[in-house]
Amino acid sequence: MRKQIAAANWKMNLTLQQGEQLLNDIVAAQNTLNDNQLAIFAVPFPYLTMAQQKLNGQKNMFVAAQNCYNKKNGAYTGEVSVEMLQSIGIQYVVLGHSERREYFNESNQFLAEKINICLEYNITPIFCCGESLQIREANTQNEFVRKQLTESLFHLSAEQISKIIIAYEPIWAIGTGKTASNEQAQEMHAFIRQQFAEKYGETTANEISILYGGSVKANNAKDIFAQPDVDGGLVGGASLIATDFVTITNALK
């Protein structure tokens, strides 16, 4: 069975003390995760070591970085390398989030370079893809997402691609007042899986976890996760509330 994953993206939120309390509350309230279930916490860079310590010994709970650079080291003031992340035991990193693409102009090719270096250092990328409202309204979302996958991932071998986690973000349904239905989520997840099947075969495609990143909340997680090609969620605001995030993890298949 594919890994079912609740990934918390704290973004640029919380003080160190608030982050510590949040993790304490989640650990205290969290039911034991099944062998095929993971909770991953993408915390700001200054909190990585704290989060590692808080989750030490917790079954199937891991820490992720929210980004990394595409170079191993060098004169890149303010950037963080995968070599640094690996040296403190980080196993996951979020790449290509819609906010990184929009605010920092990260291209598909730039992300391909990040993907390569993460795999070189045995860090699992959580690769984000998804379309804007303009693209959805033009009904060209499939072509757009296919291009993201092709240009950032499809140079990889089948063995490499099986190590990637995908997160689909319907940007058009985040903060716009529009809502993505469960059927729309399933439709795009199935489309993404089909792209992997066409490139790498059905067996490999069926091993890849595809998360939904369209405003997953405590009150909709169970219905969204019930869709056959949805393998959990990349959770934003609801991941900052302990009871909500625990409810979301409990909704995993």
Q: How far apart are CA 22 and CA 13, in angstroms?
A: 12
How many structural domains are present in the chain?
1
Task: Confirm whether 189 is a catalytic residue.
Answer: no
Task: Confirm whether 120 is a catalytic residue.
Answer: no
Q: pLDDT tens, 182-228? A: 999 999 999 999 999 999 999 999 999 999 998 899 999 999 999 99
Asked if 233 contacts 223 with a C-beta cutoff of 8 angstroms, the reply is: no
pLDDT at 214 (0 to 100) = 86
Average pLDDT of the chain, as a whole number? 96
For the domain that residue 239 is a member of, what is the CATH number? Answer: 3.20.20.70
Give the distance, in angstroms, between the CA of residue 85 and the centroid of all CA atoms in the same chain. Answer: 17
Please determine, for residue 178, whether its predicted confidence score (pLDDT) is greater than 80.
no
Q: pLDDT tens, 124-138? A: 999 999 999 899 999
pLDDT at 173 (0 to 100) = 81
**C-alpha neighbours within 13 Å on the C-beta side of residue 91:** 12
pLDDT at 180 (0 to 100) = 81
Q: pLDDT tens, 86-108? A: 999 999 999 999 999 999 999 99
Which residue in the list 20, 97, 155, 159 is annotated as catalytic?
97
Q: How far apart are CA 45 and CA 23, in angstroms?
A: 16
Q: pLDDT tens, 14-69? A: 999 999 999 999 999 988 899 999 999 999 999 999 999 999 999 999 999 999 99
Strands (E) across 130-184 are located at: 165-168
Give the domain extent around 83.
4-250
Average pLDDT score over residue span 64-79: 98
Q: Which residues contact 27 (CB under 8 A, 6 or more apart)?
A: 54, 55, 58, 61
Please determine, for residue 70, whether its predicted confidence score (pLDDT) is greater than 80.
yes
What one-character DSSP code corresponds to residue 211? E
Which residue in the list 99, 131, 169, 189 is annotated as catalytic?
169
